[in-house]
Structure formats: C-alpha cells, structure tokens
C-alpha cells in the first residue's frame, strides 16, 4: 500500500514536472525576446544621442572658420532650468540645420537680440548644445547676475 502511494506520488510529480517545464521554458524564451528587443531599443536611443554630439563636437572654437567672432559651444545636460533662465536670448534652430544656415539666421537679423542658438537635440532628453555668440553671454552663464 505504501509502495503504491509512493509510486502514485512519483507519477504525480513527474506529470507536474512535464507540464511545468515547457511552460517555464516558454516564459524564459518570451522574456529573452523582450530583453533583446529592449536592448535594441536602448542601442537605438544611444545612437540617436551620439549623432548630435558627433555633428557638433563640444569644444571651444569649433566654428573656427566662421565669420562670427568669439564663438563657444557649451553642452548643458539635463538643464531645463538653464534653458528657461536664458529663454529671452535663445533662438531654436531645427534639428539637422547646417552651420551655414544657423550663421545665416544670425547674420540676417533673425537672431536680433538673441545671443544663443539651441541646436537640435531631441527635446525629450533635455540635452542641448548652446552656441554662445559673445563673451558677455559666456560670462553671464559662468557668473550669473543676481
């Protein structure tokens, strides 16, 4: 009698194991697929973030051949507050605009009193490249007036 119960329990365990293992393997496979998709999304986002950095390298005097003097590029990450603070001196340049087009906007007077151009990073990342047009503005960013 005990042997029969033991055999029955072993059969039940084997039945449950045979049923559960494929279910768990299926779950693992689905999770691996989701993980791989997320990894591809992450790689895509990283690539999108790197493109503007490659286009506008963040160093002083990047636009050395420009007709505009004393230009500096400063990268400000995650600083929506800084953008808001200097909004009166900012003009937005659409993503993908060339350096020559940006300069033409300034020279043509579209920039007027605006001294900073925000170059086209995706807005949702709040990573901006600011082209500083005058030493005065550069100083006001480094040493804001109270």
Cα dist from 23 to 11, 19, 29, 71, whole Å:
19, 7, 10, 62
Q: Domain boundaries in the chain? A: 1-55, 72-142
Digit-by-digit pLDDT tens for the chain (146 residues) are 777 778 888 887 787 777 777 888 888 899 999 998 888 888 877 776 665 544 444 333 333 333 332 333 344 444 555 555 554 444 555 545 555 665 565 555 554 444 444 444 333 322 333 443 333 344 444 444 44
Q: Whole-angstrom Cα distance, residue 132 to residue 146?
A: 20
71: nearest Cα among 137, 120, 144: 137
Whether the model pTM is above 0.75: no
43: nearest Cα among 32, 35, 33: 35
């Amino acid at each position: 009698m005990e042997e029969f119960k033991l055999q029955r329990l072993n059969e039940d365990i084997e039945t449950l194991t045979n049923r559960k293992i494929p279910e768990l393997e299926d779950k693992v496979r689905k999770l691996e697929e989701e993980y791989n998709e997320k990894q591809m999304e992450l790689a895509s986002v990283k690539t999108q973030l790197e493109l503007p950095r490659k286009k506008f390298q963040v160093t002083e005097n990047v636009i050395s051949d420009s007709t505009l003097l004393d230009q500096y590029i400063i990268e400000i990450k995650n600083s929506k507050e800084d953008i808001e603070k200097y909004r009166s001196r900012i003009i937005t340049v659409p993503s993908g605009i060339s350096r020559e087009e940006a300069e033409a906007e300034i020279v043509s007077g579209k920039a007027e009193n605006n001294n900073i151009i925000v170059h086209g990073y995706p807005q949702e990342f709040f990573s901006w490249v600011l082209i500083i047009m005058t030493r005065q503005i550069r100083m006001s960013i480094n040493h804001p007036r109270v």
